[in-house]
Amino acid sequence: MTIATDDALAAFATTATSAVAQCAGLDPRGRARCLAEAGLIGVLAAEASGGLALGLDHAVPVLHAAGAGLLGYPLLESMLLAAALGERPEAARIVLGDATATIAWSGGAQLEGGLLSGTAGRAPMADSADLVLVRLADGAALVDATGPGVIIDAGDGLDLEAAECRVILSGATPLALLDGDAMDAILQGARLLWAAAIGGAVETCLAAAVAHTSTRVQFGKALVSFQSLRHAMARQKLAAEHIGAAIARSLMHPDDRLARAAAFAAATRFGASAVESALQLHGGMGFTWDIPMHRHLRRIRAWDAQGDAPGLHRRLAADLLAANA
Amino acid sequence: MQPGLSGEAFRAHVLAWLAANVPAGIRIDQPGYQEPDLEACRAFEAALHKGGLAGITWPVEYGGHGLTIREHLIANQEIGRRGLPESINSLGKELAGPIILAIGNEEQKLRLLPPLLEMKQIWCQGFSEPGAGSDLAGLRTRATRDGDHWRINGRKIWTSASPWADRCLLLARTGALEDRHKGLALFAMRMDAPGVTVQPIRQIDGSTDFAEVILEDVPVDAADALGAPDEGWGAAVRVLSIERATNRMYRAWRFENELSHLMRACRSDATLAGLIGSGEYHRRLAEIMVDIEIIKGYVEPTVERLAEGEAIGDRGSLMKLHWSEAHQRFAVLAMELLDQAPPGAGDEVAAARARFQSTYLRGRAETIYAGTTEVQLGIIADRMLKLPRER
């Protein structure tokens, strides 16, 4: 993998920030078009499918902007799925924004006699998707979300921007199958990109906390002048930098699975507490529906579950024990 | 060492050197470990330098090896992984030396730097005072010009390594106390000069690695004044901001050695093996692994930036905050696990307990020295976030 220049990455960040802002006023299909026109969905996808065939280092600033801007679109899923599908026709449809796609991160399906059955969960926005990837015991299967044998119903996750859905399969026909390595590559990529999105969310919440405490006056002084609050914000900054540091190192060592796992684990752990702290600094306002702190917090909790952070920690510990047997 | 080695060829040299030259019994994670005394540490560190594993980035003319910070990282990764003794001259190698390189004159570099690397001169750091700890700008130790030398009067405290140091990097005031950061000068003071009294202070782990240093009319040659009389503070801050990000670069890999040692000790005892295998501790163990990866995440990209000649600003504060708190979390976990061993547990558990009791107690200093946690948070709030002050 070549390491991109800072200028090239900054250009991706700027484009993504502007596209994410535009998406706020659009429906899911409009968002797909908007993100596709900005060239974002195809960052990782093959050139033959209309993609840019770039590395994950270019996707990081895009997901950072998506997290910062509360994007309501399964962009992470679309980018990784389009890349995994290579030159299959579905890849081009996703890249161009003609089809919306998502991934059911939990549960999965069995493939018997060429037909899929089972229940998958944690599929962001599957209710408005054309294509859904569900996991198999070894690999994954792509299905038509509106096809026969596929029922999408509301999930019970916390995220409000890209609500999680359940995918119930009973005799659905797969459009495409991915092998175990391809699914693993999706998971590895997702861990890095969730970390990037959480990093973006933390920075947005920190900026809001700085703005709020700089203007809100209590005890005759701006809140920002109280050292305990300054230190709380310094810790939020520290969380954002931890996430950035772990991502940077993972990009330096793309094959180091521990480094990749650490980026995701660091993001869910430090990211969630940083947003909780930013919420706290908003006082009563932080507890309201209208102040978006809770939206960021909800998403981080959802991503934590989608990436199975608890299971990942168990596997890391098991690796540690095995290495010191 | 072959001159000009770099990258993985340099790592091969480091691995071969360590395989051939690490004395028996000094690796703290290995059976048969015996704490090395001062002279053993001095000899081993001198050998490390001779073997090309210390003074890596310093120019050859001052005793260094003239390589890059990338090779410095490689050597530190391998040193850290092996649980070797902590440097007894880290203040010389990582603080005094870089400051002399930055603001010393040619004569000082040639005279002071080679003996430091050869471990003929061990350095301590005379910054903190009884009345000036976190607020160094309030320091009162005074340097007055007296003909061809300076006279120093004052007190320094928490002066690590001073009980055995040969030189002290001393920060003293040449101007008025009201000038705060102005009028602070740096000196390479000899610890055997008349008027220097070292009163060791016992630490929480029972050792006496630091002391109060009383300075009564101590003569310091003009030739040992480092930089201009008002250059001290600026130089100290500049060097400290880089040092905070790069000192003891082996840290993440040494923490890995500690974690691995802890796991092996736990596995040697049925009760502890049951605990770590049961899942009860899996989340905390995994979080320690992630903490270590984050330290590497600060170190390796920072090394790349420095190697490319970029500035790193106040990033050292982020790293220092993280590693110090992460290490304390680790020590708490290690103690908690080892304290659950039955009374009849074997030697491996006893050795690990001795190591991690010390890690736990000494670790309390890690959030205090080199700028307390609160000072680092202040730096992040003021300089990185640029939070407004009271208007």
Chain segment B24-73, per-residue pLDDT in tens? 899 999 999 999 999 999 999 999 999 999 999 999 999 999 999 999 99
Residue B105 lies in a domain: no
- Contacts with B344 (C-beta within 8 Å, 6 or more apart), sequence order: none
Quickly tell me which residue has 């005799």 as its tokens: A171
Same structural domain for residues B191 and B309?
no
- Judge if B225 and B258 occupy the same domain: no
Q: Which residues of B touch A317 (CB under 8 A)?
A: 279, 281-283, 285-286, 289
pLDDT > 70 fraction of chain A, expressed in percent and rounded? 99
Q: Does residue B235 fall inside a structural domain?
A: no
Set of chain A residues whose Cβ sits within 8 Å of the Cβ of B378: 227, 230-231, 234
Residue B238 CA to residue A236 CA, distance in Å, equals: 25
State whether B62 and B130 are in the same domain: no
In the listed set B181, B197, B230, which residue is the last one of a domain according to the structure?
Answer: B230
Q: What sign has the CA pseudo-torsion A83, A84, A87, A91?
A: negative
Q: How far apart are the C-alpha atoms of A136 and B115, rounded to whole Å?
A: 65
On average, the pLDDT of chain A sits at 96
Closest among B239, B233, B234, B231 to B316, alpha carbons compared: B239
Mean pLDDT of B173-178: 84
What amino acid occupies position B71? Answer: E
Number of domains in chain B: 3
Task: Tell whether the model's pLDDT for residue B389 goes beyond 90.
Answer: no
* B389 interface with A at CB cutoff 8 Å: yes
d(CA A297, CA A283): 16
The catalytic site residues of B sit at: 243
Sign (positive or negative) of CA dihedral A275, A281, A284, A289: negative
Average pLDDT over residues B111-137: 92
Percent helix / strand / coil, chain B, rounded to 5? 50, 15, 35
- Asked whether this complex has an ipTM greater than 0.85, the answer is yes
Query: pLDDT value at position A4?
Result: 62
Please, which residues have CB within 8 angstroms of residue A284's CB and are 6 or more apart in sequence? none
CB atoms within 10 A of CB A24: 12
Instruction: Using the 3D structure, point to which of B34, B64, B87 is the last residue of a domain.
Output: B87
- In the beta sheet, which residues pair with residue B200? B211
Q: Are residues B259 and B378 in the same domain?
A: yes
Interface contact B369, partner A, CB < 8 A: no
Residue B162 tokens read as 């001073």
Q: Which residues lie below 8 Å from residue B256, measured CB to CB, with a gap of 6+?
A: B80, B81, B292
Burial track A46-85 (b if 16+ CB lie within 10 A, e otherwise): beebbbbebbbbbbbbbbbbbbbbbbbbbbbbbbbbbbbb
- Asked if residue A233 lies in contact with residue A210, where contact means CB atoms within 8 angstroms, the answer is yes
Mean pLDDT of A58-63: 98
Whether B253 and B365 share a structural domain: yes
pLDDT in tens, B184-216: 899 999 999 999 999 999 999 999 989 999 999
Q: Are the beta carbons of A221 and B297 separated by less than 8 Å?
A: no
- Give the pLDDT confidence of B363-378 residue by residue, as tens digits: 999 999 888 999 999 9
Tell me the pLDDT tens digit for each residue of B136-155: 778 899 999 999 999 999 99
Model confidence band, residue B134 (pLDDT cutoffs 50, 70, 90):
confident
Q: How far is B183 from chain A, CA to nearest CA, in Å?
A: 29
Specify whether the CB–CB gap between B348 and B276 falls below 8 A: no
Cα B185 from Cα B175, distance rounded (Å): 9
Q: Does B223 contact A at CB distance below 8 Å? A: no
The CATH number covering residue B376 comes to 1.20.140.10
B294 to chain A: closest CA residue: A246
Within a domain: B332: yes
Query: Are B226 and B256 part of one and the same domain?
Result: no
B2 assigned to some structural domain: no
Q: Do B378 and A230 touch (CB under 8 A)?
A: yes
For chain B, what is the mean pLDDT?
93
* CB contacts < 8 A (A, B): 130
Q: What average pLDDT does range B88-105 have in this prediction?
A: 93
Q: Give me the amino acid identity at B245.
A: A
| pLDDT number for residue A3 | 52
| pLDDT tens per residue across span A176-216 | 999 999 999 999 999 999 999 999 999 999 999 999 999 99
Instruction: Tell me the average pLDDT across B122-149.
Output: 90
Contact A249/B267, CB-based, under 8 Å? no
Is the confidence at residue A1, as pLDDT, over 50? no
Using a pLDDT cut of 90, give the percent of chain A over it. Answer: 96
Q: Tell whether the model's pLDDT for residue A99 goes beyond 70.
A: yes
In this predicted structure, what is the pLDDT of residue B136?
Answer: 78
Residues B263 and B162 occupy one common structural domain: no
Confidence check: pLDDT of A10 > 60: yes
Q: Strands B167-173 and B123-126, how do they pair?
A: parallel
Q: What's the alpha-carbon Rg for chain A, to the nearest Å?
A: 20
B190 within a domain of the structure (yes/no):
yes
- What's the confidence (pLDDT) of residue A2? 45
The residue out of B173, B198, B230 marking a domain boundary is: B230
In tens, the pLDDT along A136-146 reads 999 999 999 99
Using the Cβ of B309 and the Cβ atoms of chain A, whether some distance falls under 8 Å is answered with no
Asked if the structure places residue B104 within a domain, the reply is no
Are B384 and A237 in contact (CB < 8 Å)?
yes
**B260–A324 CB contact, under 8 Å:** yes
pLDDT tens track for B242-274:
777 888 999 999 999 999 999 999 999 999 999
Assess if residue B93 is contained within a domain: no
pLDDT digit string (tens) for A276-314?
A: 999 999 999 999 999 999 999 999 999 999 999 999 999
Q: Give pLDDT, residue B377.
A: 97
Q: Are residues B220 and B139 in the same domain?
A: yes
Pair B374, B328 in one domain: yes
| Residue B186 lies in domain | 123-230
**CATH classification at residue B155:** 2.40.110.10
Residues facing residue B173 across a β-bridge: B142, B184
Residue holding tokens 């005890």?
A219
Whole-number Å distance between alpha carbons of A123 and A129: 10
Whether B252 and B370 share a structural domain: yes
- What domains are there in chain A, each with its CATH number? 1-99 (1.10.540.10), 100-178 (2.40.110.10), 182-323 (1.20.140.10)
Are B282 and A313 in contact (CB < 8 Å)?
Answer: yes
Return the beta strands (E) in chain B as ranges.
Answer: 123-126, 142-146, 149-156, 167-173, 184-190, 196-201, 210-221, 225-226
Among chain A residues, the shortest Cα distance to B375 is held by A231
Rounded to whole angstroms, how far apart are CA atoms A178 and A91? 13
Residue B95, domain member (yes or no)? no
